[in-house]
Amino acid sequence: MTRALDDDALLPLVDALAGGDWLSGEALAQAAGVTRAALAKRISQIEAWGLDIEARPGLGYRLGAPLERLDTARIGLPPPLRKVAVALRVDSTNQRLIEAPPADDPQVLFAEAQTAGRGRRGRDWRSPFGANLYLSLAWSFAGWPPKLGCLPLAVGVAATRALSAAGLDGVQLKWPNDLRIGDAKLGGILIESRSEIGGSCRVIIGLGLNVSMTAAQAADLGQPWISVHAAQDAAGRPRASRNELAMQLLVALGAALRDFEASGFAGFLEDWNRLDLAANRPVRIIGAGSTEIDGIACGIDDDGALIVETPDGRRQHLHAGEVSVRLGPGA
């Protein structure tokens, strides 16, 4: 049985296809110094990475969308970050930074693909190769920050600021951790913490952002979604590169974490309220005890809990770890 090639050995094939043009199987095989049969096996291997590859007799192979790999030289090292790295494929960037030395914090890890990406409440996160941004940022606070439960909300605000700087407006926030355009999901945030009682607090901030994902890559996703490039196309704006978006996100996240450490959530509250997708809309809360709750979303409280007014006029304060929110039609 032929042994599968290591990931690094397959990169020349990925890079050859990156432009999105049709390339003949014969030309690709000659460039790789392999037979057409061996090339077909390599194509199958990189398809398993989540690449959307079209094959057509007489034309050869092409990607469903051009691919731009991440480059740390182009992303840079915005202060106060100490380390930025790009991995080819990992199980989960959050998991890798949970295991990384805290002495290197604040540090960031991007991945071109994840094999076990995860979202909030244990959900899988779709992570096809080179299509989106998958990053985790490890940050060590000297002590336990006040209102730490508001950190996902502050990170969401920072992400919208980065997207605006990269030429994409109209992004809103769905409590507690989704980036949305309309009711279509653009990205999500997952924060995990490691702390010592009375001592330091280390957070791992995971952010996934749809950039150029194709319909084939998002098949069976199970919810409305949108990508940065699709939104920019619809608005008649130039497409932002993945490296530009990565840089803008790191600039915004670094500034936001310094502000949060110094002043908590106060500097983000006005923007969060302006960006709140659920404000004054009917919502259904799932996971609050044994029953579902219907009501009207009324913003958040000082601890970042969602306030929902039920039909009997009562206001309930719901925390992110306990519930999921389904939005009804706009008010």
- The predicted-structure confidence for 175-225, as pLDDT tens digits, reads as follows 999 999 998 999 999 999 887 655 789 999 999 999 999 999 998 788 899
Say what the pTM is.
0.92
- Which domains, ranges and CATH numbers included, belong to the chain? 7-63 (1.10.10.10), 72-275 (3.30.930.10), 282-327 (2.30.30.100)
First-to-last C-alpha distance (Å) of the chain? 61
Check whether the bond before 66 is cis (ω within 30° of 0): no
Q: What is the mean pLDDT of residues 91-109?
A: 96
Q: What is the mean pLDDT of residues 151-159?
A: 97
Alpha-carbon span 189 to 206, nearest angstrom: 6
- The predicted-structure confidence for 289-327, as pLDDT tens digits, reads as follows 667 889 999 999 988 999 999 999 999 999 876 688 888
Nearest one of 209, 217, 275 to 244, comparing CA atoms: 209
Placement of tokens 């890798």 in the chain: 96
Question: Helices 7-17 & 25-32, crossing angle to 10 degrees?
Answer: 140
Catalytic amino acids? 120, 185, 326
Q: Are strands 172-174 and 178-181 parallel, antiparallel or unpaired?
A: antiparallel
Who's near 217: CB < 8 A, 6+ residues apart?
Answer: 50, 52, 64, 126, 128, 131
- The predicted-structure confidence for 2-46, as pLDDT tens digits, reads as follows 566 889 999 999 999 999 999 999 999 999 999 999 999 999 999
Residue 222 CB burial class (10 angstroms; 0-12, 13-18, ≥19) = exposed
Q: Which of 57-71, 147-161, 288-302 has the lowest mean pLDDT?
A: 288-302
- The predicted-structure confidence for 75-93, as pLDDT tens digits, reads as follows 999 999 999 999 999 999 9
